[in-house]
Amino acid sequence: MMKKTELIKIYDPQQDAEGVRRAAELLRQGGLVAIPTETVYGLAADACNAEAVRAVYAAKGRPSDNPMIVHIADREMLPELVASAPPAAALLADAFWPGPLTMVLPRSQRVPLTTTGGLESVAVRMPSHPVARAVIRAAGVPLAAPSANRSGSPSPTTYRHCIDDLWGLVDAVVESDDCAVGVESTVVSLLGEVPQILRPGAVTPEDIRRVCGGVTVADAVLHLLPQDAAAPSPGMKYKHYAPAAALTLVAGSQSDYAAYVNGLYGERCRAGEDGGFYAMCFDEDVSLLQAPTISYGAAYDYASQAQNLFDVLRQLDKLEAAEVCVHAPEPEEIGLAVYNRLLRAAAFRVVKL
Ligand code: TXA
Ligand code: MG
């Protein structure tokens, strides 16, 4: 059933106070509102309203065992959501909240199992985006907010991406600026002895090690889990983005990448099979390549790669790309998050030169 979706303009929470009020009103009534955060846009609903959360799963087409992140605006909102928190939680919150870090902790009874995908743990994050914070505060409730894309498409980093995916399926989309970080938050589990990174993001393993003294990175971040392995984070089981094109990650120097792509493109041209061939590359690669190119940033500017990643993946779908050779990012700093997302988009196809 189609809904009437409102576009609510909030660029500045003070100047656009009426928009904040309207978004909060819809959320308190159990509505679904796409809101900006510093990482990606989220599809928000009252985290403690199971019916509203069920509607989020439905609008996204998301499997109901894939849990949601609960967003708070103030540290005081945390205790009511969790049954307990180890000392590392306070240290990490001091260091990285508000910001792109999500902590997995034992859930309190206040958080419905619908929100946690049936798990006894809950993922909590305090975003730094002023619009997200203003909307959470005005709603007065913690907000469950998965990325505001249809399940299987790249996370949205502009309000237009939200409109493309969710118009007619949600109550409102907030019109605001493009997301500054561009990849989803770091998810760290504090359920074990040592913090474990379940999903890399802008807060790096090194950042967490510095604060907590130790950290591990889940195998699934860089490796395909065996069919029968239990995933520590349900999201790892799912192929995140299923671009229509077959993506391959090509790891190597600028000249090796160019030689590989030019060779393959030449073959495709001779066979008359070059339609839909693209090189998703760095700015510096463009002049060396014979194939059509689409750049996702400068080779050593990991932050810009993160910022552009999802928009470029969406553009490739619009271009009806069929075969894409991606110049693999360095898996360092936020580049690890970019590599992790691309690895999944490429269904783990990697060529190392
Ligand atoms: O940056 C972000 O985190 C964005 C913005 C909107 O805040 N949100 C986001 O949500 O990316 P989503 O739902 O697309 O991804 C949440 C991830 C999933 O991989 C999910 O499996 C994992 O967090 N997760 C949530 N709760 C969990 C839990 N209790 N235990 C383990 N993993 C959990
Ligand atoms: Mg998502």
76-90 pLDDT per residue, tens:
999 999 999 999 999
pLDDT range class, residue 129, cuts 50, 70, 90? very high
Task: Give the number of whichever ligand sits closest to the CA of residue 191.
Answer: 1
Query: Which of 69, 70, 116 most suits a substitution to test ligand 1, by most atoms within 8 Å of the C-beta?
Result: 69
Which atom of ligand 1 is nearest to 127's Cα? Answer: 7
Give the pLDDT confidence score for residue 235 in this predicted structure. 67
Q: How far does residue 154's CA lie from ligand 1's centre (Å)?
A: 14
Distance CA 148, CA 157 (A): 9
pLDDT tens per residue across span 303-343 = 999 999 999 999 999 999 999 999 999 999 999 999 999 99
Q: 200 and 221 in contact (C-beta within 8 Å)? A: yes
What's the mean pLDDT in 250-267?
Answer: 98
* Ligand 1, residues at Cβ distance < 6 Å: 37, 39-40, 42, 66-69, 102, 104, 116, 119, 121-123, 125, 145-147, 184-185, 187, 198-199, 233-235
Give the pLDDT confidence score for residue 128 in this predicted structure. 98
Q: Please state, in angstroms and as integers, the Cα–Cα distance from residue 248 to each residue in 94, 280, 322, following that order.
A: 39, 10, 11
The sheet with strand 293-295 has its strands ordered as 293-295, 277-281, 323-327, 246-251, 350-352
% residues pLDDT > 90 (the chain): 91
pLDDT range class, residue 54, cuts 50, 70, 90? very high
Give the pLDDT confidence score for residue 242 in this predicted structure. 72
pLDDT range class, residue 154, cuts 50, 70, 90? very high
Q: Output the average pLDDT for the chain.
A: 95
Q: Is the pLDDT of residue 282 over 80?
A: yes
What are the strands, taking DSSP E only, across 244-299?
246-251, 277-281, 293-295
